[in-house]
Amino acid sequence: MLSLRLCSCSHSLVISKPLIGFAEKLSLSSRRNVSQSSTRNLCFCAKRPIEPNGLTSSQNRTPHDSPLSEMEEVLGSYVFGKKKATEVAHLVWKHVVQRGDTVIDATCGNGYDTLAMVKMVADESARGCVYAMDIQNDALENASSLLEESLNPNEKELVKLLPMCHSKMDKVVPEASVRLVAFNLGYLPGGDKTIITKPETTLLALEAAKGILMPGGLISLVVYVGHPGGWAESETVHTFASELPVNNWACCKFQMLNRPWAPILVLLFKR
């Protein structure tokens, strides 16, 4: 069953302290020791161009044969205004998701995240499962059309499109069995802008995701704030993440300081 844009001027990026723990979990080569009690943020401000290629000096970069070189490229490009938050999210997913995993697209929208997930979990033995849910029929129809034209028959079998609210994901997915839960919070691109995700149901969805996520799993959120109610939902996400125990979770937030309406990327990694 088939069942950020960045401005051309200088900008700033906030990366909350727990990103250090997340980077360590991904085995980044440059580890650093940061006290768990520290509440300081790492702030990056860049006035472009830095170099012709928009990146830092080549001698400080990961070798191109490293499995993390692509992530470094995208993170660097994001900092210097060349990549979107969604592109950073997809790169992080690739370093978490494994072939044969179960993953959830909690707000499938037009299906682009769902498609990316299928390509990450599909393997030759036809294992893996992508649960994609949305409350709007238009979204499910758009996602179904995209997947129909983009996937082979075996890949299509891995997708379950569900007409349901993300707050009820734990009703259909086994407990502690999911590697990734991804959210795009806001309204359906190209759809009715009055139909939006709400803080109260998103909070329930986050609680549900926390319960079904396996150790080593990730909750990924791209929070769109440029609409009424967007900032309230962002605050709900921020509060939820801030209250997760540091011994079991590493949480970070990417936010453009001088573009208040730019999407915010939040990554919650379960140790």
Pair 68, 62: CB distance under 8 Å: yes
Q: How far apart are CA 108 and CA 188, in angstroms?
A: 9
Task: Give the pLDDT of residue 76.
Answer: 85
Q: How many CA atoms lie within 13 A of 47 on its CB side?
A: 0
Query: pTM for the whole thing?
Result: 0.79
Structure tokens at 256: 């453009």
Task: Give the pLDDT of residue 40.
Answer: 44
**Residue 158 three-state SS:** coil
**Residue bearing the bigger pLDDT, 196 or 35:** 196
pLDDT digits (tens, 9 = 90+) for 207-266: 999 999 999 999 999 999 999 999 999 999 999 999 999 999 999 999 988 889 999 999
Pair 231, 225: CB distance under 8 Å: yes
Q: How far apart are CA 246 and CA 189, in angstroms?
A: 35
- Spell out a b/e string for 62-101, using b for 16 or more CB atoms within 10 Å of the CB, else e: beeeeebeebbbbbbbbbbbbbbbbbbbbbbbeebbeeeb
Q: How far apart are CA 44 and CA 200, in angstroms?
A: 32
- Parallel, antiparallel, or unpaired for β 213-223 and 264-270? antiparallel
pLDDT digits (tens, 9 = 90+) for 41-50: 556 565 655 4
